A and B are shown apart, each in its own frame.
Chain A
Amino acid sequence: EMQLLESGGGLVQPGGSLRLSCAASRFTFSSYAMSWVRQAPGKGLEWVSGISDSGGNTYYADSVKGRFTITRDNSKNTLYLQMNSLRAEDTAVYHCTKGWGRYPYGVFDVWGQGTMVTVSS
């Protein structure tokens, strides 16, 4: 069964930084687009960022553009999300998701359990 395991969440002060990681297993990581989707406490799902299979194309929600950076290391089967200038409204569970094709235009068919990020002083 394909698996995604996120790590790196925690408590950070407003304006601080955090880097999330997502370790993928049991599928050919380098063949698929990946994305981050977050869910604030008691709220709905919000797509944050996506990256193509090679890492050459990246996409961001307006709410995080210029502050977050998505990258991947296909040799390590790992997806990353570097989060800078964090705000209280970034507080959420961050899920790593696998796409079906080379670009993050469509389906998220595998989801990780998520890692909690809390931005508070």
Chain B
Amino acid sequence: QSVLTQPPSASGTPGQRVTISCSGSSSNIGSNTVNWYQQLPGTAPKLLIYSGNQRPSGVPDRFSGSKSGTSASLAISGLQSEDEADYYCAAWDDSLNGQVFGGGTKLTVL
């Protein structure tokens, strides 16, 4: 059971916009920044979004993040086949004194 809650799966067709939610609590998302990671099949995770809505260089602006209270969301617009991957949210948890991850969402491009 992960501290942060994500839907196990999401899907969309090419060109569509999809969102992935991440629910936490006051000790993690409610008081710290949320980061998102993308894991393509057979590869190591990669930083996708940091500090809630910032993109590292090289990440397309099709990817965006937001946060409200104790929840966060990752949005992917103009869905492409290469976006098919597992997506994880993460944040520092002040009560646990450690990083916590969501269980991951497997995105399928139909």
- List residues of chain A with CB under 8 Å of any chain B CB: 35, 37, 44-47, 50, 59-62, 95, 100, 104-109, 111-114
On whether the beta carbons of A44 and B47 are closer than 8 Å, the reply is no
Mark out the residues of chain B between 58 and 104 whose CB falls within 8 Å of any chain A CB in the assembled complex.
Answer: 86, 88, 90, 92, 96-104
Q: Enumerate chain B residues within 8 angstroms of A50, measured Cβ to Cβ.
A: 98-99
Task: List 11 additional A-B contacts (Cβ < 8 Å) besides A44-B2, A47-B100, A107-B47.
Answer: A44-B88, A45-B88, A46-B101, A47-B98, A50-B98, A59-B98, A106-B32, A106-B35, A107-B35, A108-B37, A108-B45
A100→B56 CA distance, assembly (Å)? 12
Question: What total count of A-B pairs have CB within 8 Å?
Answer: 63
A61→B50 CA distance, assembly (Å)? 22
Residue from A47, A50, A109 whose CB has the most chain B CB atoms within 10 Å: A47
Question: Which of B32, B51, B56, B99 meets A47, CB within 8 Å?
Answer: B99
Question: Which of A37, A62, A105 meets B96, CB within 8 Å?
Answer: A62
Q: Enumerate chain A residues within 8 angstroms of B47, measured Cβ to Cβ.
A: 107-109
Closest to B35 in A: A107
On whether the beta carbons of A114 and B99 are closer than 8 Å, the reply is no
| 5 nearest CB pairs, A to B | A47-B99, A44-B104, A111-B44, A105-B92, A45-B101
On whether the beta carbons of B44 and A45 are closer than 8 Å, the reply is no
Residue from B39, B92, B102 whose CB has the most chain A CB atoms within 10 Å: B92
Q: Enumerate chain A residues within 8 angstroms of B27, measured Cβ to Cβ.
A: none
Instruction: List, sorted by A's number, 28 A–B pairs whose CB atoms are closer than 8 Å.
Output: A37-B101, A44-B86, A44-B88, A45-B37, A45-B39, A45-B88, A47-B90, A47-B98, A47-B99, A47-B100, A47-B101, A59-B98, A60-B98, A61-B96, A106-B33, A106-B35, A106-B50, A106-B51, A107-B35, A107-B50, A107-B51, A108-B37, A108-B45, A108-B90, A109-B50, A109-B56, A111-B44, A112-B44
